[in-house]
């Protein structure tokens, strides 16, 4: 039977998670109180301390529970793609938290979820109080280098023959862009009660200019400032893999270049100029980067982000997700639509 | 801003009641927050979304469709213009949405047409740009930095 997910009822969640962990082949499970993190617009995140006995020893960990609420912006969710990717990337050049368990069934929490280690660090955000740079120059260079190295490692990961091959996405290089445009156009149709001519115009343009993917890689889908942790000058984890799938790696490069992630800074994600980013990425992967394709994916990413704003509005208005940040995103739709238009103009 | 005012005000009240007031330690500040709820409850039934921008949108979209129709063979005639002065905000919003659907259809035709299609497309794109540029005049800079940090803009 399906349980109902109430993110405010942390005691029920704690009890159910303890029972779930006990069913994973470990003994003497103890789960401490849950505290909810306010980060993120989509999955609900809780931290807790847990212990259990395994292979004759006691394990004690600070853990994270991530649950995809049924009324969340991208619901209904699946934990499988994110969990499988994170597990596969353990020990690679991509810093990721260690993952333990997941479930896509609704019997446990009423929502898909997974459990991973709590990774120390703070998440720098793209928005600054004065719209200026997020980092001083030394930090920008140091973190920027790690940021692009992590992306290059992700896109160089040999996913073929691993469980990642089953996470979904498009593996026909001639179809990666079209499938993404179809996906986000369908979501716009679900989320916007009225038609949005500017985005219809963009979708026609994106289909007409779709590039062929140079190769198929794991695409994070939301690789940017705001979605990694920094501790002691090191990027300790890349977060928020909910949009992960197989596709054109240039999509992640284009996403990094969105106006929304840099404010008035000339640096993509507050790190590099567009050209520096592509040069460094090419040097690390050994694969040349077509700047036109990056510009295309930047235009697509801006379209996708605009559609997400409609998703946030729908979530707030129709799905009872009572987070005023969602309504705030709805208020920014004119800004987003103008950014879609200018991103297309730059990409021509 | 396309969210129904009723829903927006209901959520503001719920946020104050559930997420803010329980965490305000000062009794006067708590009372003021309840005062905001009281005001919203009384303002709600008396307001609607501003009519002037909606009337302008309907008028401009109607004019655009009339202008591009001769350039796009196969486009359905836009029909008689609505008497915008007599429509409520909700009716104007519905008419705007109906016209946007017609503009979307015209866009699809214009993309597939020849020289006249290109002229029509340029007119439509200009309209879409101007509409959003106008909306930006009432769109305030987002407070994402302050929301994310929980700190006032002037604090560092």
- H helical segments located in A127-256: 137-156, 176-191, 197-208, 250-256
Long-range CB pairs of B81-90, under 8 A, 24+ apart, other chains included: B82/B58, B84/B55, B84/B58, B84/B59, B85/B55, B87/B55, B87/B58, B88/B48, B88/B51, B89/B48, B89/B49, B89/B50, B89/B51, B89/B54, B90/B48
pLDDT of residue B156: 44
Distance CA A167, CA A177 (A): 18
With an 8 Å Cβ cutoff, are A204 and B142 in contact?
no
Average pLDDT for chain B: 90
Q: What digits encode the pLDDT tens for the residues A301-328?
A: 999 999 999 999 998 888 888 888 888 9
Beta bridge partners of residue A247, listed in sequence order:
A217
Q: Choose, out of B15, B107, B113, the residue to mutate when testing the contact with A (most A CBs < 10 Å).
A: B107
Share of chain B above pLDDT 90, in %: 69
* Bond from prior residue into A97 cis (ω within 30 degrees of 0): no
B85-107, pLDDT tens digit by residue?
A: 889 999 999 999 999 999 999 99
Query: Mean pLDDT across chain A, nearest whole number?
Result: 94
CB B75 within 8 A of CB B68: yes
Cα–Cα separations (whole angstroms), residue B32 to A286, A334, B26, B65: 61, 33, 10, 50
- Residue reference for tokens 């439509």: B124
Residue-wise pLDDT tens digits, A290-308: 999 999 999 999 999 999 9
- Best residue in A133, A136, A198 for a mutation probing chain B (most B CBs within 10 Å): A198
With 80 as the cut, is the pLDDT of residue A39 above it? no
Mind listing the pLDDT tens digit for each residue in A224-282? Answer: 999 999 999 999 999 999 999 999 999 999 999 999 999 888 999 999 999 999 999 99
- Distance, in Å, from the CA atom of A70 to the CA atom of A72, rounded to the nearest integer, reads 6
The average pLDDT across B133-156 equals 77
Each residue's pLDDT tens digit, A11-30: 999 999 999 999 998 999 99
Residue A325, both tokens: 């940040």
Stretch 95-134 of chain A: residues touching chain B, C-beta under 8 Å? 125, 127-129
The tens digit of pLDDT for each residue in B71-84 reads 998 888 777 777 88
Q: Is the pLDDT of residue B57 over 90?
A: yes
Can you tell me the distance from the alpha carbon of B56 to that of B129, in angstroms, rounded to the nearest whole number? Answer: 15
**Six-digit token pair at A130?**
């004065």
Return the pLDDT at B2. 77
A325 to chain B nearest CA, in Å? 8
Which of B2, B14, B125 is facing A201, going by the closest CB pair? Answer: B125
Smallest CA–CA distance from A318 into chain B, residue: B7
Nearest by CB: A327 against B3, B124, B143: B3
Cα–Cα nearest to A66, from A52, A86, A51 = A86
Say whether residue A283 is in contact with chain B using an 8 A CB cutoff.
no
Measured between CB atoms, which of B14, B139, B145 is closest to A129? B145
CB contact under 8 A, B136 and A334: yes
- Measured between alpha carbons, how far is A313 from A191 in angstroms, rounded to an integer? 8
Asked if residues B95 and B58 have their Cβ atoms less than 8 Å apart, the reply is yes
Question: Three-state SS for A282?
Answer: helix
- For residues A212 and A250, the answer to whether their CB atoms sit within 8 Å is no
pLDDT at A241: 96
Give yes or no for B130 touching A (CB within 8 A). Answer: no
- A335 interface with B at CB cutoff 8 Å: yes
- Taking the C-alpha atoms of residue A81 and residue A89, their distance in angstroms, rounded to an integer, is 12
- Cα–Cα distance measured from residue A58 to residue A272, given in angstroms and rounded to the nearest whole number: 45
Query: Quick check: A327 and B101 CB within 8 A?
Result: no
3-state secondary structure of B58: helix
Residues contacting residue B110 through CB under 8 Å, at least 6 positions apart: B68, B71, B72, B117, B118, B120, B121, B124
Q: How far apart are CA A203 and CA A337, in angstroms?
A: 12
ipTM for the predicted complex comes to: 0.92
């Amino acid at each position: 039977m399906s349980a109902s997910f109430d993110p405010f009822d942390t005691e029920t969640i704690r009890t159910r998670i303890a029972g779930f962990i006990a069913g994973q082949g470990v003994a003497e499970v103890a789960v401490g109180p849950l505290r909810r993190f306010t980060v993120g617009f989509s999955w609900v995140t809780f931290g807790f301390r847990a212990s259990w006995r395994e292979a004759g020893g006691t394990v004690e960990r600070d853990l994270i529970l991530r649950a995809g609420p049924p009324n969340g912006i991208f619901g209904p969710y699946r934990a499988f793609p994110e969990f499988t990717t994170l597990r596969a990337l353990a020990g690679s050049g991509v810093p990721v938290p260690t993952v333990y368990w997941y479930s896509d069934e609704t019997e446990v929490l009423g929502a898909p979820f997974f459990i991973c280690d709590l990774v120390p660090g703070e998440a720098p955000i793209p928005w600054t109080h004065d719209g200026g740079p997020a980092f001083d120059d030394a930090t920008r260079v140091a973190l920027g280098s790690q940021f692009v190295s992590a992306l290059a490692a992700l896109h160089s990961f040999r996913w073929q023959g691993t469980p990642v091959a089953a996470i979904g996405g498009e593996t026909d290089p001639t179809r990666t862009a079209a499938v993404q445009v179809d996906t986000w156009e369908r979501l716009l149709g679900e989320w916007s009660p009225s038609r949005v001519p500017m985005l219809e115009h963009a979708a026609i343009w994106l289909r007409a200019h779709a590039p062929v993917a140079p190769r198929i890689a794991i695409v994070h889908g939301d690789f940017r400032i705001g979605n990694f942790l920094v501790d002691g000058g090191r990027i300790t984890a890349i977060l928020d893999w909910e949009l992960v799938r197989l596709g054109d790696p240039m999509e992640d490069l284009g996403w990094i270049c969105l106006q929304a992630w840099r404010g008035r800074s000339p640096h993509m994600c507050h790190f590099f100029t567009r050209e520096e980013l592509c040069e460094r990425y090419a040097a690390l992967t050994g694969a040349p980067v077509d700047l036109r394709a990056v510009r295309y994916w930047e235009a697509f990413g801006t379209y996708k982000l605009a559609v997400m704003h409609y998703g946030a509005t729908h979530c707030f208005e129709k799905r009872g997700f009572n987070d005023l940040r969602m309504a705030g995103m709805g208020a920014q739709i004119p800004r987003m639509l103008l950014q879609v238009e200018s991103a297309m103009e730059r990409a021509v | 801003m396309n969210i129904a005012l009723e829903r927006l005000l209901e959520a503001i009240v719920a946020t104050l009641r559930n997420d803010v007031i329980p965490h305000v330690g000062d009794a006067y500040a708590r009372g003021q927050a309840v005062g905001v709820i009281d005001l919203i409850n009384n303002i709600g039934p008396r307001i609607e979304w501003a009519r002037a921008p909606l009337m302008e949108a309907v008028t401009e979209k109607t004019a655009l469709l009339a202008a591009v129709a001769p350039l796009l063979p196969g486009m359905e005639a836009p029909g008689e213009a609505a008497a915008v002065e007599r429509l409520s905000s909700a009716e104007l919003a519905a008419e705007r949405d109906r016209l946007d659907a017609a503009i979307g259809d015209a866009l699809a035709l214009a993309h597939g047409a020849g020289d006249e299609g290109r002229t029509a497309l340029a007119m439509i794109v200009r309209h879409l740009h101007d509409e959003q540029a106008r909306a930006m005049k009432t769109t305030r800079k987002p407070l994402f930095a302050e929301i994310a940090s929980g700190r006032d803009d002037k604090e560092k």
